């Protein structure tokens, strides 16, 4: 019983770390995308 609970807690912790990393990656990606979008906007304004 205790062994099983330990594994559940361990797995939950692993998933939480994975989720946190995924959130971080998404934030980074979104920031990068926003920066690229801004760059594209300024370039298209220049071309007009």
Q: Is residue 1 part of a domain?
A: no
The pLDDT value given to residue 43: 87
- Write down the pLDDT at residue 2: 86
pLDDT at 3: 86
What is d(CA 38, CA 45) in angstroms, rounded to the nearest whole number? Answer: 11
- Residue 42 sits at φ, ψ, to 5 deg, of -65, -35
In angstroms, what CA-CA distances link 10 with 18, 20, 21, 29? 12, 15, 17, 28
pTM above 0.85, yes or no: no
pLDDT per position in the chain (48 positions), as tens? 688 999 999 999 999 999 999 999 999 999 999 999 999 999 888 876
Q: Note whether residue 28 is domain-resident.
A: yes
- 40 in a domain, yes or no? yes
Domain that holds residue 26: 6-45
Overall number of domains in the chain: 1
């Amino acid at each position: 019983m205790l062994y099983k609970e330990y594994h559940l807690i361990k797995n939950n912790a692993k998933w939480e770390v994975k989720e946190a990393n995924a959130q971080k990656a998404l934030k980074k990606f979104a920031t990068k995308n926003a920066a690229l979008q801004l760059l594209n906007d300024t370039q298209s304004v220049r071309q007009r």
